[in-house]
Amino acid sequence: MADWDHTPDIHREDRLGFDEAVFCLQKRPDQLRRILADADERGRTLLLTRLSAEQLAPLPTSYRERIDYDNLSHTGLFGSIQAPASAARVATVSAGTSDAGVAAEAVRTLRYYGEACHEIQDVGVAGLWRLLERIDEIRRLPVIIVVAGMDAALPSVLGGLVPGAVIAVPVSTGYGVAAEGRTALNAALTSCAPGLVVVNIDNGYGAACAALRMLRSLRPTEPTEGGNMPHG
């Protein structure tokens, strides 16, 4: 009774250009094992997100050995993943130490789907010089994933400085009215910088998928020669 029925969305790759990831939070060992067995049988790779070390431990060695696990992002890549074919077309920009895990989830998702990523960390606006020093580097990439908690001032500042697509990922750090990321989310949605887009709190995976949609449907234009930020 109440037997668990697994129906993966096997046509997703055809429809969307990327396959279905496995969101592991609250999945039981037997469920994970069955999902891995199913992938193994079909000879498919898998992206596992929100996978804790505790969930990983009881899996059969034969599976565990084939999972490239990252402790910061809590992601696992099952099967052999291709190296990125081109230079990074996406940057992740994060504000502080607490945002590193969410940024890493985006990086790992992109990696799984064959995209390299340019990572920039610890450039929160309280010390604005850190961001300004690296802004030309960021401006050269067509898609920017910006990861910030608390007041999420970084997406607003960045959105006013770079011309590319800016995807804001609010983060559930902080305390009090940080409200587990809702303040960061709302700040990103009401940003005074035009044309920012936003995903759910802590959703590094979703931001990466959004970047993939853009990169698969569109093709980067030639980098503006020079490319440095105009005065002002």
Tell me how far apart the alpha carbons of residues 150 and 170 are, in angstroms, rounded to a whole number.
Answer: 8
Closest distance to a second copy from the beta carbon of 20 (Å): 8
Using rule CB under 8 A, residue 198 touches a second copy: yes
Using rule CB under 8 A, residue 228 touches a second copy: no
Nearer to a second copy, 6 or 42 (CB): 6
Q: What is the DSSP string of 192-208?
A: SSTT-EE--TT-HHHHH
Nearest to 215 by CA among 52, 18, 5: 18
Nearer to a second copy, 63 or 110 (CB): 110
Site residues for a second copy, 13-72, by CB under 8 A, read 14-18, 20-21, 25-27, 31, 70, 72
- Which of 42, 54, 177, 226 is in the footprint of a second copy by CB under 8 A? 177
Query: Which whole-number Å values give the CA distances from 119 to 93, 94, 99, 174, in the listed order?
Result: 6, 8, 12, 22
Q: What is the DSSP letter of 46?
A: E
Token pair, residue 226, equals 């020079």
- Which of 44, 81, 98, 118 is in the footprint of a second copy by CB under 8 A? 98
Nearer to a second copy, 59 or 193 (CB): 193
User: Given the rule CB under 8 A, which of 36-44, 58-66, 79-87, 152-160 is the region that contacts a second copy?
Assistant: 152-160
Nearer to a second copy, 64 or 134 (CB): 134
Closest distance to a second copy from the beta carbon of 122 (Å): 4
Using rule CB under 8 A, residue 200 touches a second copy: yes
Using rule CB under 8 A, residue 100 touches a second copy: yes
Q: What is the DSSP letter of 51?
A: -
User: Given the rule CB under 8 A, which of 36-44, 53-61, 80-88, 165-173 is the region that contacts a second copy?
Assistant: 165-173
Using rule CB under 8 A, residue 116 touches a second copy: no
- Given a contact cutoff of 8 angstroms between Cβ atoms, the answer to whether 214 and 143 are in contact is yes
**Helices 100-112 and 204-217, interaxial angle, to 10°?**
40
- Which of 40, 108, 115, 118 is in the footprint of a second copy by CB under 8 A? 108
Residues near 134 by beta carbon (within 8 Å), at least 6 away in sequence: 120, 123
b/e per residue 103-125 (b: at least 16 CB within 10 A) = bbbbbbbbbbbebbbbbbbebbb
Using rule CB under 8 A, residue 175 touches a second copy: yes
Nearer to a second copy, 37 or 218 (CB): 218
